[in-house]
A and B are shown apart, each in its own frame.
With several copies, the nearest count.
Chain A
Amino acid sequence: MSLPDWWTIDPNQPFTLGPRLFPGRIWTASGCFAYGLTGHDMKSANFTSPYQGLGAVVTKTVTPQPRAGNPMPRLAETPMGAINSIGLENVGFGEFLAETLPALERKGVPTVVSLAATRPDEFGDMVAMLHETAAGFTHWHGVEINLSCPNVAEGGHDFGRDPATVSACVRAARRNLPDRALLAKLTPNVTDIAELATAAAEAGVDAVSAINTVIGLEVDLETGRPVLPRRFGGYSGPAIRPIALAKVDEIVTRAGVPVVAVGGIGDFRDALKFFALGAVAVQVGTAQMRDPFAAARISRNLIRG
Chain B
Amino acid sequence: MVDPEIGPAVSCDGVVMSNEPVSSGLVRLDLELDQPLSFQPGQFAMLNLAGADPLVFSRPFSIFKADGRRMSFLYRIVGRGTRAMGALVPGDAMTFLGPLGRPFPQPETDQPVVLIAGGVGLPPLAAWLARRSDHPGLEIQAFFGARDGADVPWDLLDDRWDVSVDSLKDVPDGRRAWKGLVTDLAATSKDLQDGRNRMVLACGPTPLLKAAARFAEARGWGCWLSLEEHMGCGYGVCKGCVVPVLDPDKGPEARRNATCCQEGPVFNAELLAWKRPHRSQ
- Find out whether A and B make contact in their complex, taking CB atoms under 8 A apart as touching: yes
Q: Could you list which residues of chain A lie within 8 angstroms of chain B, going by C-beta atoms?
A: 31-34, 38-39, 41-45, 60, 67-75, 77-82, 84, 86-87, 89, 237-238, 286, 288-293
Other-chain residue from A39, A69, A72, A290 in contact with B57 (beta carbon distance below 8 A)? A290
* Closest-CB distance, B52 to chain A (whole angstroms): 8
**What are 6 A-to-B residue pairs whose CB atoms are below 8 Å?**
A45-B35, A74-B240, A75-B230, A77-B80, A289-B237, A293-B11
User: Is there an interface contact between A44 and B281, defined as CB atoms closer than 8 Å?
Assistant: no
Other-chain residue from A33, A34, A74 in contact with B242 (beta carbon distance below 8 A)? A74
* Closest-CB distance, B264 to chain A (whole angstroms): 13
Q: Is B239 an interface residue (CB 8 A)?
A: yes
* Closest-CB distance, B241 to chain A (whole angstroms): 8
Q: Top 3 closest A-B pairs, CB basis?
A: A289-B233, A34-B237, A75-B240
* Closest-CB distance, B86 to chain A (whole angstroms): 17
Per the bound structure, the CA–CA distance linking A81 and B53 in Å amounts to 11
Query: Would A291 and B11 be within 8 Å (CB), given that A68-B280, A70-B280 are in contact?
Result: yes
Residues of B within 8 A of A34 (CB): 236-239
What is the chain A residue whose CB lies nearest that of B280? Answer: A71
Per the bound structure, the CA–CA distance linking A291 and B50 in Å amounts to 12
Other-chain residue from B97, B240, B242, B257 in contact with A84 (beta carbon distance below 8 A)? B240
Q: Is B12 an interface residue (CB 8 A)?
A: yes
Per the bound structure, the CA–CA distance linking A60 and B240 in Å amounts to 13
Q: Is B232 an interface residue (CB 8 A)?
A: yes
User: Is there an interface contact between A41 and B280, defined as CB atoms closer than 8 Å?
Assistant: no
Per the bound structure, the CA–CA distance linking A293 and B95 in Å amounts to 12
What is the chain B residue whose CB lies nearest that of A236? Answer: B56
Q: Is B55 an interface residue (CB 8 A)?
A: yes
User: Is there an interface contact between A290 and B257, defined as CB atoms closer than 8 Å?
Assistant: no
Residues of B within 8 A of A32 (CB): 233, 237-238
Per the bound structure, the CA–CA distance linking A17 and B57 in Å amounts to 32
User: CB within 8 Å of A: which of B185-238?
Assistant: 229-233, 235-238
Query: Would A87 and B281 be within 8 Å (CB), given that A44-B11, A82-B56 are in contact?
Result: yes
Other-chain residue from B9, B95, B239, B256 in contact with A43 (beta carbon distance below 8 A)? B9
User: Is there an interface contact between A45 and B34, defined as CB atoms closer than 8 Å?
Assistant: yes
What is the chain B residue whose CB lies nearest that of A72? Answer: B242
User: Is there an interface contact between A38 and B237, defined as CB atoms closer than 8 Å?
Assistant: yes
User: Is there an interface contact between B238 and A77, defined as CB atoms closer than 8 Å?
Assistant: no
User: CB within 8 Å of A: which of B31-86?
Assistant: 34-35, 46, 48, 52-58, 80
What is the chain A residue whose CB lies nearest that of B52? Answer: A79
User: CB within 8 Å of A: which of B231-264?
Assistant: 231-233, 235-242, 256-257, 262
User: Is there an interface contact between B12 and A45, defined as CB atoms closer than 8 Å?
Assistant: yes
User: Is there an interface contact between B58 and A290, defined as CB atoms closer than 8 Å?
Assistant: yes
Q: Is B10 an interface residue (CB 8 A)?
A: yes
6 additional A-B pairs beyond A42-B9, A67-B281, A89-B257, beta carbons within 8 Å, are: A38-B237, A42-B11, A43-B10, A82-B56, A289-B238, A290-B54
Query: Would A79 and B53 be within 8 Å (CB), given that A34-B237, A291-B95 are in contact?
Result: yes
Other-chain residue from B97, B236, B240, B281 in contact with A68 (beta carbon distance below 8 A)? B281
Q: Is B8 an interface residue (CB 8 A)?
A: yes
Per the bound structure, the CA–CA distance linking A32 and B236 in Å amounts to 10
Residues of A within 8 A of B8 (CB): 41-43
User: Is there an interface contact between A72 and B229, defined as CB atoms closer than 8 Å?
Assistant: yes
Query: Would A87 and B280 be within 8 Å (CB), given that A81-B56, A291-B11 are in contact?
Result: yes
Per the bound structure, the CA–CA distance linking A303 and B236 in Å amounts to 29
Residues of A within 8 A of B257 (CB): 68-69, 89
User: Is there an interface contact between B280 and A86, defined as CB atoms closer than 8 Å?
Assistant: no
Residues of A within 8 A of B233 (CB): 32, 289-290
